[in-house]
Structure 1
Amino acid sequence: MTQPVPFPPSLWASVTPDRPAAPALEGEIRADMAVVGAGFTGLSTALALAERGHKVVVVEAARAGWGASGRNNGQVIPTMTGAEPDVMAERFGAVGERFAQLVSDSAANLFKLVRRLDLKCEAEQTGWFQPAHSPGRVKLSAARVEAWARRGAPVSLLSADETAALTGSRAWYGGMLNRSGGHINPLAYARALAGAAVAAGVSLYENSPVQSVERTPAGWVVSTAKGRVIADQVMMAANGYTDWFAPGLAPRLAHSLVPVLSWQMATAPQPEAVRAKVLPGRQALSDTHGDLRFFRWDARGRLVSGGALIVPFNGAERLKRLIGARLAGIFPQMGVPTFDFVWNGRIGMTDDRMPRFHRVADGLWAWVACNGRGVALSSALGPVFADAMEGKAEADLPVPLTPVRPYPFHGVAKLVAPTLLAWYRHKDAVEPS
């Protein structure tokens, strides 16, 4: 029997009801479509395919939501980290414009899916706010509002006074509000999505690390220690965890992103008086710092935040001091909070902050590198990859398909990437107005 993979501790793991584990894969199964990974992308792709009548198998190394999908902050953000919509269109033409539109609609579509399937995941479509940390960044916020508004996004530019009223802080100079965003309990969303997929006819197998994906005369073969799936089409949806359980599974794909630890934290439940003054509208917030400030309330009155470290040694205790002091500075009403939970997970990063979409081979699809914007985008990609696997012309897809390009000296890049935080902090401090 396959040994179950322990679920990493976090706020979400502590408060989210578990679902019965799916069986491990044993023996041979024939399917139309196979999906590797039961995170947001894998589950939303499988759900879309099953709702269209296909026989779909999802094979997960651990449990649904075990990776980045179940460990993130839960902010539903309808933008990319550093890739501007006009740049997407300039770089990729009509496909880039369709991708920008996909991103613009991604948060609204996630909440529509939650309502359609009645997914129990503490979903709050209260908006997402990106405040500007300097006068110069207000100019960037204004440009972003103009660019996203041209694509129909419900965005507006807030003044410094409006920002203070929305956030409860004078730490920022203004910013962009997108009313389609919000936040969810990401692990609850993953588990609910898994339940919806199974109810739609998807065969889910957990605790079944995939060891290889190979093309044979019979079709694509997805192999685990005790079983295999033969399918016409395969979606690789493991992102930053592609090489975690089997380093030899897809090394070129795994080396086409740089995995970085993202740290999340949750305070003790805060008094009602604090919650009435700090983000009283319960928006999700992540600002324009390179060393990002990000916050949102959960359903139990905890402020869920996080931070970044160059060296992870004793990370939880160091972050409690760092982020505790940061929160007290931004929100004096709160004082220095105590933290009940600190956890981390891998996110996939690229040098240009753009995700990578691939037709790896005929019938083999993949995407990697959410760059910290995976919640809304990965859910939006499910129907897109379902279209691709059904044979929609590549030129008509709303994602730019590119060849897999591994980073040279990938091991060195993994070591160097966290040190870029020092550069981000320097830029944050010296940016001119």
Structure 2
Amino acid sequence: MHTANVRWPDSLWAAATPSGPQLPELVGPAEADVIVIGGGFTGLSTALHLREAGVDVAIVEAMEPGWGASGRNNGQVIPTLSRPDPEDIIAKHGAVGERFVALLRDSASTLFDVARRYQIQAEQEQAGWVQPVHSPGRIKIAERRVRQWSKCGADVEMLTRDQTRQMLGSDAWFGGFWNKTGGHINPLALSRGLARVVLEQGGRIYARSPAISFERKNDRWVVKTEKGEISGRALIVATNAYTGEFSKALMPDIAQEVMPVLSWQMATQPLSEAARKTIIPGRQAMSDTHGELYFARYDARNRLVTGGAVIGPGNKVERIKQRVGERLQRLWPQIGPVAFDYVWNGYVGMTTDFLPRIHRLGPDAYGWTGCNGRAVALSIALGDELSKAVRGTAEADLALPFTEPVAIPAHGLMRKLAPLMLMVYRRRDAREMT
């Protein structure tokens, strides 16, 4: 894949965000103490925290910072995983699981604190994140999560049906779970802001330079691109759902343990002041308990940023506009006619158990994948932990539950079949409404 043939997504974020810094390609030989492959949230956060500690670091990015999942997502800042709860994580990973839960608990505040510390203008609003439940039987999910996260010290609250109605302006839900530290951002603005800070702090970023391969040679890591190579003492691979998209030889074992699933995002025309008084008036981020997620948040221009899923032949953009437009009118009848100005998509890296995969790749080399739709807050916090790992922090003090790569069987076939899971989710969701 040649980067010259790959376009930026026609997204709200690309239209609304000032250009990022001008960056060179990697041409010829170079050296750094730490090499980071991937200029998304994880790679940028890792580089920033390394520079704060005075460590020489260089990022090798296939396109531009934020081009991949970090600049295409909905921008919801959610300090939880999508399905596993604290007790699930601790049962699987023990003491390191407890540290990882603490990292998750604080991950949204970590992101907002970094943005404040460096005065990054990313349209950030720490108004909280709400997970309303879409059927009476699923209220137990909210109760379980409030109980477990409260025990872990998180600032969470159970919402009754009336409280949920007041907070979201809809009768569609039966109660919910409110995490008060969450919120939302413009993810591309955060990516480009982090890139500027990394450069200001003395880091290097090489753009339009896809990593083709890496190897251990003479006690150093060597990363090769089409036009150059860079060697370093330590290595972080932060390519997540786009691992393998530019080079099948980069990390095949890790690329095949995550399923890249296409996620569609959409932005309405700006809502009227009257509509905003009753539709999520507190401007919280919201994503509910449907398997086919219903989610929404405002941007700085008062557009409702939402999305959905679509499979099968035909004009996917027009089909998803119709489907999600009808959904918004069901959830909020007061919204009136719905028109979308932007529709775009990007990959979400899914794992079979909805847990992230964090790996040791060799001496002073680490990587992770498997965001499962929760990468925004998590990746910023993981960047800090990965920076500690390559600086020599003892494993017993890291919040990194390491595992060995396990590829999904028949990965290529399963990738083609994965979109069909949408039909399964829709059937399950429909049954739970009865």
* SS of aligned partner of 1:402: coil
1:371 aligns with 2:372: yes
Instruction: Supply the AA of the counterpart residue of 2:207.
Output: E
Which residue number corresponds to residue 407 of structure 2? 406
Shift of 1:336: 3.5
Aligned residues: 433
| 1:319-348 C-alpha deviation (Å, 9 max, x unpaired) | 000000000000001023000000000010
1:303 aligns with 2:326: no
Aligned mates of 1:310, 1:376 — CA distance in 2 = 28
Which residue number corresponds to residue 97 of structure 2? 96
Shift of 1:395: 3.4
Contact 1:4-1:62 within 8 A present in 2 as well = no
Matches for 1:320-335 after TM superposition, within 5 Å? 320-335=321-336
Contact 2:21-2:192 within 8 A present in 1 as well = no
Matches for 1:48-197 after TM superposition, within 5 Å? 48-197=49-198
Which residue number corresponds to residue 386 of structure 1? 387
Shift of 1:218: 5.0
| 1:117-155 C-alpha deviation (Å, 9 max, x unpaired) | 111100000010000111111121011101001111110
Aligned mates of 1:304, 1:18 — CA distance in 2 = 21
Unaligned runs of 5+ in 2: none
Which residue number corresponds to residue 208 of structure 1? 209
Contact 1:160-1:173 within 8 A present in 2 as well = yes
Aligned mates of 2:433, 2:210 — CA distance in 1 = 49
* SS of aligned partner of 1:288: coil
Aligned mates of 2:3, 2:76 — CA distance in 1 = 34
1:424 aligns with 2:428: no
* SS of aligned partner of 1:261: strand
Contact 2:3-2:63 within 8 A present in 1 as well = no
| 1:249-282 C-alpha deviation (Å, 9 max, x unpaired) | 1111111101000000000111111111100000
Aligned mates of 1:374, 1:3 — CA distance in 2 = 27
* SS of aligned partner of 1:139: helix
Aligned mates of 2:244, 2:337 — CA distance in 1 = 39
Shift of 1:3: 4.0
Shift of 1:313: 4.5
Instruction: Supply the AA of the counterpart residue of 1:105.
Output: D
* SS of aligned partner of 2:343: strand
Instruction: Supply the AA of the counterpart residue of 2:194.
Output: L
Unaligned runs of 5+ in 1: none
* SS of aligned partner of 1:230: strand
| 1:91-128 C-alpha deviation (Å, 9 max, x unpaired) | 11111111111111100111111111111100000010
User: RMSD across aligned C-alpha pairs, in angstroms?
Assistant: 1.4
Which residue number corresponds to residue 224 of structure 1? 225
Contact 2:222-2:231 within 8 A present in 1 as well = yes
* SS of aligned partner of 1:35: strand
Aligned mates of 1:20, 1:79 — CA distance in 2 = 32
Aligned mates of 1:270, 1:314 — CA distance in 2 = 26
Contact 1:2-1:24 within 8 A present in 2 as well = no
Aligned mates of 1:247, 1:313 — CA distance in 2 = 30
| 1:207-249 C-alpha deviation (Å, 9 max, x unpaired) | 1111111110151001111111110111111111111111221
Shift of 1:50: 1.1
Could you say if the C-alpha distance between residues 221 and 126 of structure 1 is closer, same or farther in structure 2, counting changes exceeding 3 Å?
A: same
Aligned mates of 2:365, 2:310 — CA distance in 1 = 36
Q: Percent of counterpart pairs with the same letter?
A: 50
Aligned mates of 1:297, 1:175 — CA distance in 2 = 19
Q: Which segment drifts farther, 168-177 or 20-29? A: 20-29
Aligned mates of 2:281, 2:361 — CA distance in 1 = 46
Aligned mates of 1:21, 1:199 — CA distance in 2 = 13
Instruction: Supply the AA of the counterpart residue of 2:142.
Output: S
Which residue number corresponds to residue 272 of structure 1? 273
* SS of aligned partner of 1:333: helix
Shift of 1:2: 7.7
Which residue number corresponds to residue 344 of structure 1? 345
Instruction: Supply the AA of the counterpart residue of 1:275.
Output: R
Could you say if the C-alpha distance between residues 53 and 98 of structure 1 is closer, same or farther in structure 2, counting changes exceeding 3 Å?
A: same
- Provide the TM-score with structure 1 as the length reference: 0.98
* SS of aligned partner of 1:8: coil
Instruction: Supply the AA of the counterpart residue of 2:94.
Output: G
- Provide the TM-score with structure 2 as the length reference: 0.97
Instruction: Supply the AA of the counterpart residue of 1:10.
Output: S
Aligned mates of 1:183, 1:348 — CA distance in 2 = 20
Shift of 1:393: 2.5
